[in-house]
A and B are shown apart, each in its own frame.
Chain A
Amino acid sequence: MASLATKAGREAASLARPPLQDFFPLYVPGPPPVDQVAVEERASSLAKRSIKKGAKVAGLKLAIAMMDLTTLEGKDSAGKVRALCNKALRPLETDASVGPCAAICVYPNLVPVAKRALEGSTVKVASVATAFPSGQSPLDIKLQDVRRAVEFGADEIDMVIDRGAMLSGQYAKVYDEIAATKEACGAAHLKVILETGELGSYDVVRRASEIGIAAGGDFIKTSTGKVQPAATPPVTLVMLETIRDHYYATGRKIGMKPAGGVRTAKQALHYLVLVKETLGDEWLTPDLFRFGASALLNDVLMQLEKERTGNYQAAEDFSKD
């Protein structure tokens, strides 16, 4: 083995070994590995804070304003979407200071319905596209899906990345698809769903986040809600840290959206703590942080009513969907 200490030795070594790329044609120098233990520890320590009284009410109202009220089921109908829109506009009948939610998230076919129902309000219409939730369709079909959703009036597009490509190391393919989707979006905001539950490790989540941001995503989003586990605090923390590092490097602010698995008011508050501690107050706005949820809203409303009346509430007193 030639010594690497001398110039001649290094030349000999470089001749003897082919470049790294020849062994690993898919290798792209990536971000430093994520310290799994530290991330999980930090996420759990931030979830131990107790938030009470006035701060709790303020946090819960903020969480409602950040909510993408979502229905993504095969049985969705125009009626259900209209009901959901009404709920987004005025989540709590008795209190106009609560809400409205940030957006309604539906399948492309229901975008016109939501658009009509929300006309004149600040509530945005988000649509999933790109062969949601698997993303396993040819690119031209995915792009067509996006363009039609935008034509129907979607303000925001939630795309899924090709996890198969991501896991087999075809990062360029993932990047190109996101970039093409961003182009197809036009003026609509793009949220990139990583589906972290299928990515396997925090390292892959970190790399996927960087690809999503670099390719032009306005938001990065954890999950479709169709795969378990969906959003978890540690995975959200990894993504928030990617956003933070990108902000330090470029000054560009990327949004974050945990989706699926956030069911209780307490969890929502803990996510807000995570955001505040990682990115600061600037990100505590619906423009840069969203919850993708369906069951969360009622639990938050129950907690708000409990704070107002002093009594624990019954689930059946709040409309479902």
Chain B
Amino acid sequence: MAARKSAATKVKSKGNRISQVKATNGTSLVQVDEVVLPVRLRIAKAYKMYVGGAFVRSESGRYFQVKSHETSIDADPSVINIPRGSRKDVRDAVLTAKNAQEKWAARTAFNRGQILYRLAEVMESRRDELISSLVRGGATAEKAAAETDAAIDRSIYYAGFCDKFQSLVASSNPVSGPHFGFSVPEPMGVVGVAAPEAPALLGLVSTVLPVITGGNTVVAIASDRDPRTAIVFCECLATSDLPGGVINVLTGQAAEMAPVLAKHREVIAIDAWTRDAELRATLEREGAGSIKRVKTHASPSERFWLEDGEGQGLGWIERFLETKTVWHPVGV
């Protein structure tokens, strides 16, 4: 160590506890107090899809590349590889979501709320990471911060709604006869979501959370423009007590995967937000073939997602619920 130290010349002032020094052979060293260490290589992350509570590569082994707008923030290279999901990945994710659905719906509404609240806590603690990911995806720092904050708040919003929406959409019906008639909401099952191309984070959060609030499970296709932020969000999901399989996020081309979701008979409903009019038409046609509830939308403006009055609400939960009406004799 002493020999190494003597071979180095300091390039920064003595007052710093940590300073860059340059070795005589030209390699960079870092000095921490009295210890001189070589500058370490930073570890780049392998981005993976989130299925069944685990981070997985595509079964197909395919990747697509996404360019970063700024790379100085962390270890990522300027171009990163993102798994390109295949139809088999879709099928695996649907099976996982199907297996998770009954248990998720059987949890108490209060517990589902606790878990979504925990999600907001984890997102808050990873707020900087979410923002920097959005910046690398092309957003300005201000917009990225506003989007992240709105996404965290949306999680809190649906956490609160978990044990309240039932009372708002259920009813005791007037019937003529010695019966009670109750209508109560029930989850539908596995819902396929094609998240909007933009905003990458808020769009995904706003479309997926109301669906699971109602007790459904989700297979979502993340925005292919900024899939990295979706994956960072999945890291929040993975550490938030959300059971594996409740939210599954695939990355890749929506045009390739969404029709498979729409055709899959195990998927009970599909919610597609895409600017691709042809894809919307395909999804409507394929979804009709297996009698799904199909909702397609041309992606609205970013303003729409940011506004509380538009991007969230009871209606968002109600879209993927079934109503069960029960007749019960009076006096029994």
- Whether B265 lies near A313 (C-beta < 8 A) is yes
B272 contacts the other chain (CB 8 A):
no
B254 contacts the other chain (CB 8 A):
no
A247 contacts the other chain (CB 8 A):
no
B57 contacts the other chain (CB 8 A):
no
Q: A143: shortest Cβ distance to chain B, in Å?
A: 44
Complex Cα gap A310–B290 (Å): 12
A168 contacts the other chain (CB 8 A):
no
- Complex contacts, B260 vs chain A, CB 8 Å: 312
Interface residues of B in 177-220 (CB under 8 A from A): none
Q: A299: shortest Cβ distance to chain B, in Å?
A: 11
B266 contacts the other chain (CB 8 A):
yes
Q: A313: shortest Cβ distance to chain B, in Å?
A: 5
B91 contacts the other chain (CB 8 A):
yes
- Whether A311 lies near B94 (C-beta < 8 A) is no
- Whether B266 lies near A314 (C-beta < 8 A) is yes
Q: Report which of A310, A312, A317 forms a contact with B94, defined as CB distance below 8 A.
A: A312
Contacts across chains A and B counted by CB atoms under 8 Å: 21
Main secondary structure of the interface of B (DSSP, over half): helix
Q: Which residue of A lies closest to B88 (CB)?
A: A312
**Range, interface on chain B:** 10 to 19
B22 contacts the other chain (CB 8 A):
no
Q: Which residue of B lies closest to A313 (CB)?
A: B265
B289 contacts the other chain (CB 8 A):
yes
Q: B48: shortest Cβ distance to chain A, in Å?
A: 23
A214 contacts the other chain (CB 8 A):
no
Complex Cα gap A227–B160 (Å): 46
- Complex contacts, A315 vs chain B, CB 8 Å: 98, 266
B264 contacts the other chain (CB 8 A):
yes
Complex Cα gap A45–B289 (Å): 39
Q: Which residue of B lies closest to A317 (CB)?
A: B265
B263 contacts the other chain (CB 8 A):
yes
- Complex contacts, B265 vs chain A, CB 8 Å: 311-314, 317
Complex Cα gap A317–B265 (Å): 9
Q: Which residue of B lies closest to A310 (CB)?
A: B263
Q: What mask results when residues 280 to 321 of chain A are scored 1 for a CB within 8 Å of chain B, else 0?
A: 000000000000000000000000000000111111010000
Q: Which residue of B lies closest to A305 (CB)?
A: B265
Complex Cα gap A312–B263 (Å): 7
Complex Cα gap A317–B290 (Å): 11
Complex Cα gap A90–B180 (Å): 44
Q: B304: shortest Cβ distance to chain A, in Å?
A: 33
- Complex contacts, B266 vs chain A, CB 8 Å: 312-315
- Whether A312 lies near B91 (C-beta < 8 A) is yes
Q: What mask results when residues 31 to 58 of chain A are scored 1 for a CB within 8 Å of chain B, else 0?
A: 0000000000000000000000000000
Q: Please list 21 pairs of residues, one from A and one from B, whose beta carbons are closer than 8 Å in the complex, sorted by A's number.
A: A310-B263, A311-B263, A311-B264, A311-B265, A311-B289, A311-B290, A312-B91, A312-B94, A312-B260, A312-B263, A312-B264, A312-B265, A312-B266, A313-B265, A313-B266, A314-B264, A314-B265, A314-B266, A315-B98, A315-B266, A317-B265
Chain A positions within 8 Å of B, measured between CB atoms, are: 310-315, 317
Chain B positions within 8 Å of A, measured between CB atoms, are: 91, 94, 98, 260, 263-266, 289-290
The 10 closest A-B pairs by CB, nearest first: A314-B265, A314-B266, A312-B264, A311-B263, A313-B265, A312-B91, A311-B265, A312-B265, A317-B265, A311-B290
